[in-house]
Structures are given as C-alpha cells and as structure tokens.
C-alpha cells in the first residue's frame, strides 16, 4: 500500500442496527429519542387545526370530524404515549443537565423535577382557561 493514511488502521467491530433491542435501558433511550418525530407530527396536526380555523366554521367542523376518525385517533394515541415519555424523561434529566444553586446551596434534584411539573400544571391550566372560557 502506497496510499498515505491520516488515521491509524484500527479494527472497528461493526455495530448491529438493532443493538438497542438487547437491553431495556438501550430500548428506552432509542424510544425517547424517537419521540422527536411525534413532536413534529403534533406541530403538523396543530397547523392543520389552525388552517381549518382560518378557513371558517365549516372547515373547523370538518377538522374535528377528521380528528375523531379511528386512524387519526390511533395515531394520536401512539404519538401521545411518546410525548409522555418525552415529558417524564426530559424533566428527570434536567437536574443532571444543570445544577441550580439558591444562596450558594444546591437545589435538590427532587425540587427541580417538582418545579417543572408545577410549571406544566400552571401552563396547562392557563391554556385550558384561554381556549374554553
């Protein structure tokens, strides 16, 4: 071989495409990451809803009927399960990603996780009030 190499020749054991099915923690990790595609789906779903609202009362009624059809409900049930996985894992990871200190004392992880659920509750209550009042 006369071709110059910038990297040393090391053997890399090929990783199987299905490596994450062998252990529960690996599986949950990939499922957690996969929640991203369902977050994108809900953005598309909400855009369809807003387009229907823009188009008028008849289009809005049609959207509600379409959203109640078995296929869409089924898709949304699966997507919502992934969203719940995102919420739970995201909240529990936050204390590990950032250490918060109040007056020099570290805030216990339980308090950070609890504060996020409280935030979720307040935001949810506000949105429900705004939409349904």
Partner 1 sequence: MTTRRIEPLVWLMFSGGGVIAAVFLPVLVFLFAFAFPLGWITAPDHEHLLAVAGNPITVVVLFGMFVVLLVHAAHRFRYTLYDGLQIKAKVATAAICYGAALFLSAVAFFTFAFLLEAWG
> What does the binding site for partner 1 look like in residue numbers (CB under 8 A)?
15-17, 19-20, 30, 33-37, 39-40, 42-47, 49-51, 53-54, 56-57, 60-61, 64-65, 67-68, 72-73, 76, 79-80, 83-84, 86-87, 90-91, 116, 119-120, 123-124, 127-128, 130-132
CB 48 within 8 A of CB 63: yes
Q: Which is nearer to partner 1, 84 or 111 (CB)?
A: 84
Minimum distance, C-beta of residue 3 to partner 1, in the bound complex (Å): 22
CB of 73 to partner 1, least distance (A): 7
Comparison of 2 and 10: residue with beta carbon closer to partner 1: 10
What residues form DSSP beta bridges with 102?
105
Q: Please say which residue, 41 or 107, places its beta carbon nearer to partner 1.
A: 41
Residue 127 C-beta: closest distance to partner 1, Å? 5
Residues 6+ away with beta carbon under 8 Å from 41: 75, 79
Q: What are phi and psi of 7, to 5 degrees?
A: -110, 145
Phi-psi region of 25 (alpha: psi -120 to 50; beta: other; left: phi over 0): alpha
Residue whose CB is less far from partner 1, 33 or 106: 33
Please say whether the beta carbons of 63 and 49 come within 8 A.
yes
Instruction: Assess contact for 35 and 82: CB atoms under 8 A.
Output: yes
Q: Supply the minimum distance, in Å, between the C-beta of residue 33 and partner 1.
A: 4
The token duo for 87 is 């919420």
């Amino acid at each position: 071989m006369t071709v110059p190499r910038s990297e040393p020749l090391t053997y890399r054991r090929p990783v199987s495409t299905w490596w994450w099915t062998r252990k529960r923690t690996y599986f949950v990790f990939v499922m957690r990451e996969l929640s991203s595609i369902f977050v994108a789906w809900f953005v598309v779903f909400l855009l369809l809803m807003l387009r229907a609202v823009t188009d008028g009362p008849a289009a809005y009624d049609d959207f509600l009927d379409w959203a109640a059809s078995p296929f869409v409900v089924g898709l949304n049930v699966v997507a919502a399960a992934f969203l719940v996985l995102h919420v739970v894992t995201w909240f529990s990871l936050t204390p590990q990603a950032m250490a918060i200190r109040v007056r020099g004392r570290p805030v216990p992880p339980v308090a950070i996780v609890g504060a996020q659920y409280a935030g979720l509750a307040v935001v949810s209550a506000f949105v429900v009030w705004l939409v349904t009042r």
